[in-house]
Structure 1
Amino acid sequence: MGHSDQTLNRTAISATLHCLTGCALGEVLGLVIATAAGWGDVPSIAISIALAFVFGYALTMLPLLRAGLTLRQSVPLALASDTFSIATMEVIDSLTIIFVPGAMAAGLGDALFWGSLAGALFLAFWAAFPVNRWLIARGKGHAVVHEGHGQQQHA
């Protein structure tokens, strides 16, 4: 594997971990809210997915905003860099939770709840990694954020 492949892999791993952090925060908060409220499967999954996107985009936008970009500049960069990665993670994560027997019915104190969530996030990471690698190699995904962030620093 050449130096550029190693650099691309490191960048893709970093982008995927970044995405995983936002997804995990949203997933956990969504499932905790839904479980504590006694919601059914569909609302539980819906709030988890919505919050995963909110946290994922927010984690991308915060450093951009701190660097001096406006909200109007940051939103399109976050959407361009994270949408496919978060969507990939959420499909894999949600399907995993749905297909693990008893996971959707497990309570917050159950090892099955946390174990299935951890396993789902692990699988989601490995599903999103090639997506991020492919996007970054083509100047898309998190490459867009780095480009936009770099342009602002040089302006």
Structure 2
Amino acid sequence: MTPAWLVMLSWCALTLAAISSVIILADIYARGYRQRMRVMEAVWPVTGLYFGPIAVWMYCRYGRPQSGKWSAERNRRNPPDKPSWATTAIGVSHCGAGCTLGDIIAEFAVFALALELFGSALLPEYIGDYTAALVLGIVFQYFAIAPMRGLGLRKGLMQAAKADVLSLTAFEVGLFGWMALTSLVIFGGHPLHPNNPVYWFLMQIGMIIGFATAWPANVWLIRRGIKEAM
């Protein structure tokens, strides 16, 4: 049995994350703080799904200043420069959004189809998570790189893959390591499933770990100019 305190903690964390995501969405669409790079209008709310209030703070401090409304209200042609750590964090969140959405889709698909390999759902989850994250990550990166560089579909997708494969792989390494730990060690006798709130609370933690493991890759990609600074 999953401890009652852990279930309650999970519901609190998931609720707080959902509220954080709604706050960001409302600010973008209801209050009109549309992002200059439109793909970030999806990235910020998705980041709220695992970073919660931290994502809201980061958005208000370093995300909203990139909007056209923010600049117009302050009569500034260009927003102020961000510190390098903030640029890296936003780059990781861009990768993390694709990974997060891919993981959510794949986890529910594996569960619904009752897929297993060697008596466990962990390997199908890995395969599904990585495949979905790869597709969505490249799409997200395409809509960041192609408009900024004026690239067509083919070249844009190639550059997007070049910029995102290393980053999303590093993200998934951290997440997959945490998933293995929770599945095989912490809950080895009673594996959790996506219909349990504790499962998604632990996935939130895993995504934060993935964010950390993707950080060095993003520093390198941005410095080399392979990935656009956002």
- Output the TM-score relative to the length of structure 1: 0.79
Q: Structure 1 pair 91/134, CA: closer, same or farther in 2 (3 Å)?
A: same
Q: Does 1:84 align with 2:166?
A: yes
Structure 1 gap segments, 5+ residues each: 1-5, 147-155
Query: Residue 99 of structure 2 aligns with which residue?
Result: 23
Whether the 8 Å contact between 2:106 and 2:128 is mirrored in structure 1 is: yes
Alignment of 1:39-118 (within 5 A): 39-40=115-116, 41-64=122-145, 69-100=151-182, 101-102=186-187, 105-118=191-204
Give the distance between the partners of 2:159 and 2:169, measured in 1 at CA. 16
Which structure is larger by alpha-carbon Rg, 1 or 2? 2
Secondary structure of the structure 2 residue equivalent to 1:142: coil
| Higher-helix-fraction structure | 1
Secondary structure of the structure 1 residue equivalent to 2:143: helix
Equivalent AA in structure 1 for residue 187 of structure 2:
G
47-56 vs 93-102, greater mean Cα deviation: 93-102
- Output the TM-score relative to the length of structure 2: 0.55
More contact order relative to length (CA 8 Å, sep ≥ 6): 1
Structure 2 gap segments, 5+ residues each: 1-81, 117-121
Equivalent AA in structure 2 for residue 70 of structure 1:
G
Aligned length: 140
Question: How much has 1:66 moved relative to structure 2?
Answer: 5.8
**Regions of 4+ moved over 4 Å:** 63-68
Give the distance between the partners of 1:125 and 1:105, measured in 2 at CA. 24
Question: How much has 1:107 moved relative to structure 2?
Answer: 2.0
Q: Percent of aligned positions with the same letter in both sequences?
A: 23
